């Protein structure tokens, strides 16, 4: 069994994989890691190896704690990847983007794939049918846009997103909702269409915490998968074990 750890800024997502199947998932605050890590070890004594993706540089305590119990693979630019990486600055490529590309290779081998991750930032990443990662784009995420309107203006309120938003806002709050959510949807549609024009038979994968607010109709199927990043990390771990 594999222990997969995705350490964000404030929370840790973990999953226990048996082969390619998720046996259990956990999501908890960073300060609660030791307590939850103990429970995971007790519940799954069959775990033999682990992988961690950390977006911050202050996760040394977590890394040290896991390494005491299992062999640990840390995601960085030096590890072996199941795709050809043509990003010109691989050392600055986000670990989440690496994991999502690995998941795309695993699930959609031999296809042109665009992965859109709607989280803190909105990231766009493309791999070709030859399993070559070309790069993509980074755009401000939904929460970032709401906060920036509130922070950089004198009177605009801080608004929370809603799943259904009218095109025409009939109040300041609804105008902000329309501007941000409909603006992101239009951005996504435009980006997808641009990629579809350049890469035939494009498969679009849509994931991330804010994907629930963003319904993007497309001629091509869009598969939303909340476990996509975790699956990518598990694939990278297995890929490095067999190399």
Judgement on whether residues 83 and 203 belong to the same structural domain of the protein: yes
Pick from 43, 74, 105: which residue ends a domain? 74
Pick from 20, 45, 74: which residue ends a domain? 74
Pick from 42, 58, 74: which residue ends a domain? 74
pLDDT score of 222: 75
pLDDT tens digit string along 210-231?
A: 877 776 655 666 777 789 999 9
Residue with tokens 């040394």: 60
Is 101:116 a contact under the CB 8 Å cutoff? no
Is 117 part of the annotated catalytic residue set? Answer: no
Judgement on whether residues 50 and 108 belong to the same structural domain of the protein: no
Judgement on whether residues 92 and 171 belong to the same structural domain of the protein: yes
Residues spanned by the domain of 40: 1-74
pLDDT tens digit string along 92-136?
A: 999 999 999 999 999 999 999 999 998 889 999 999 999 999 999
Judgement on whether residues 219 and 170 belong to the same structural domain of the protein: yes
CATH number at residue 224: 3.30.420.40
As a whole number of angstroms, the distance between CA 162 and CA 12 comes to 25
| The pLDDT of residue 190 is above 60 | yes
Judgement on whether residues 81 and 190 belong to the same structural domain of the protein: yes
Judgement on whether residues 153 and 220 belong to the same structural domain of the protein: yes
Q: For residue 20, what are the CA distances in angstroms to 42, 108, 194? A: 21, 15, 33
Judgement on whether residues 131 and 179 belong to the same structural domain of the protein: yes
Judgement on whether residues 82 and 69 belong to the same structural domain of the protein: no
pLDDT tens digit string along 34-71?
A: 999 999 999 999 999 999 999 877 788 999 999 999 99
Judgement on whether residues 69 and 89 belong to the same structural domain of the protein: no
pLDDT score of 8: 85
The number of distinct structural domains making up the chain is 2
Judgement on whether residues 68 and 85 belong to the same structural domain of the protein: no
Judgement on whether residues 111 and 40 belong to the same structural domain of the protein: no
- Out of 6, 20, 76, 96, the active site residue is 96
Q: Which residues contact 27 (CB under 8 A, 6 or more apart)?
A: 11, 12, 13, 14
Judgement on whether residues 69 and 155 belong to the same structural domain of the protein: no
- Counting Cα atoms < 13 Å in the Cβ hemisphere of 239 gives 17
């Amino acid at each position: 069994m594999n222990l997969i750890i995705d350490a964000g800024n404030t929370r840790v997502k973990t999953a226990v994989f048996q082969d390619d199947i998720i046996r259990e998932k956990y999501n908890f605050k960073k300060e609660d890691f030791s307590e939850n890590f103990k429970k995971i070890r007790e519940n799954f004594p069959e775990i033999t190896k682990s992988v961690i993706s950390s977006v911050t540089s202050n996760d040394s305590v977590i890394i040290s704690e896991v390494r005491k119990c299992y062999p640990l693979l840390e995601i960085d630019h030096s590890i072996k990847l199941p795709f050809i990486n043509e990003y010109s600055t691989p050392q600055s490529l986000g670990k989440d983007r690496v994991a999502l590309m690995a998941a795309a290779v695993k699930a959609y081998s031999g296809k042109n794939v665009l992965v859109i991750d709607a989280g803190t930032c909105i990231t766009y990443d493309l791999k070709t049918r030859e399993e070559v990662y070309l790069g993509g784009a980074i755009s401000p995420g939904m929460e970032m846009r709401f906060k920036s309107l509130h922070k950089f203006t004198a009177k605009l309120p801080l608004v929370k997103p809603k799943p259904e938003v009218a095109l025409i806002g009939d109040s300041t709050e609804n105008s902000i909702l329309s501007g941000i959510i409909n603006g992101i949807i239009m951005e996504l549609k435009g980006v997808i269409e641009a990629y579809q024009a350049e890469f035939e038979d494009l498969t679009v994968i849509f994931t991330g915490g804010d994907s629930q607010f963003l319904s993007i109709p497309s001629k091509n199927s869009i598969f939303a998968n909340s476990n996509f990043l975790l699956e990518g990390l598990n694939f990278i771990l297995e890929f490095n074990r067999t190399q």
